[in-house]
Amino acid sequence: MGVVSRTFYHFGRWLLLMKQGIHRPEQWNMYARETVRQMYDIGIGSLLIVGLISIFMGAVAGIQFAYQLDDQLVPRWYIGYIVRDLAILESAPTITCLVLAGKVGSNMAAELGGMRQKEHIDAMEIMGVNTPGYLIMPKLVAAVIVIPLLVSVSAFVAMAGGYVATVPTGEVTGPEYTRGLLAFYAPYNVFIMYVKSVVFAFLLTAVSTYQGFFVRTGSIELGKASTRAVVISNILILLADYLIAVIMTA
């Protein structure tokens, strides 16, 4: 099979999996409990790494922009403005979701793949459980709710990171940085951030769960599925990032 026909094959198979998954739950409380568990795992489990990455993203953006402003006529308070818009429009949704594709996505693929290999999924199917519904849908719902919240945290922490890196070092004063943060504020940019984070969350979860659900036997296959989950998620996130930028800023 060529690349194009393989892509269509997997897309069709994924659509059928989603169709199977969308159904009335056997027990609402079991699905709700699973969704909350996934929300906790994705949200609380990723808070530290998202915080760390975001503070450094903001810090680096602040310092590098301050360096670019040396001997320029552009006012220094622009540092806060640039850090804010960079965080909201790009670094918070995109970089955070690329990192989450590695952390959460590979974890989802490995979890489902392990369940497939240990016959847990077969056991549930024989019991009569709708496995795509019970094992995939709670992850999708949890990711689409929690990842935008993580992206919001990331944006705030990045702005704080920019402050920590530029104000104590004398690149810009505190009031100047704050003035930059408040300047030219466009709520539409925040809307773009949330659109991106929801789309990226859906993509990374859909790809990772698909890869894990259909994993074949053997530890090598499990590793390959996790790797494919991360690589394909990252490519699709970047592609979607470009398309959203084109569509929403045209």
Partner 1 sequence: MSFGDVPVLKGITARFERGRTNLIIGRSGAGKTVLLKILVGLLHPVEGKVWYEETPFSELAGRDLRNIRMQVGMLFQGSALFDSMTVEENVRFPLDMFTGMSRGEKADQVNHCLERVNLAGSNKKFPSELSGGMQKRVGIARAIVLNPRYLFCDEPNSGLDPKTAFVIDELIQQITRENDMTTVINTHDMNSVMEIGENIILLYNGALAWQGSREQVMHSDNDILQDFIFASPFLQRLRQAALDKGSR
Residue ranges that bind partner 1, judged by CB under 8 A: 26-27, 30, 118-120, 122-123, 125-130
Q: Which is nearer to partner 1, 123 or 243 (CB)?
A: 123
CB of 177 vs partner 1, minimal distance in Å: 46
| Minimum separation from the CB atom of position 26 to partner 1 (A) | 5
d(CA 5, CA 243): 23
Give 131's contacts (C-beta < 8 A, 6+ positions apart): 121, 124, 125, 213
| The one-letter amino acid at 213 | F
Distance of CA 187 to the CA centre of its chain: 21
CB of 27 to partner 1, least distance (A): 6
Q: Which residue, 126 or 220, has its beta carbon nearer to partner 1?
A: 126
Least distance in Å: CB of 237 to partner 1?
29
Q: Report the candidate in 74, 68, 113, 129 with the shortest Cα–Cα distance to residue 209.
A: 113
Render the burial of 204-225: b for 16+ CB within 10 Å, e for the rest: bbbbbbbbbbebeeeeeebebb
How far apart are CB 95 and partner 1 at their closest, in Å?
31
Tokens 């990045």 found at: 158
Residue 40 or 191: the one with the smaller Cβ distance to partner 1 is 40
Taking the complex as a whole, the smallest distance from the CB of residue 134 to partner 1 amounts, in Å, to 8
Give the CA distances from residue 108 to residues 147, 156, 210, 212, 230, in Å, rounded to whole numbers and listed in that order: 14, 27, 9, 7, 10
* Residue 17 or 244 having the CB closest to partner 1: 17
Residue closer to partner 1 by CB (options 11, 125) is: 125
| The two three-digit tokens of residue 150, written as one number | 């993580």
Nearer to partner 1, 175 or 218 (CB): 218
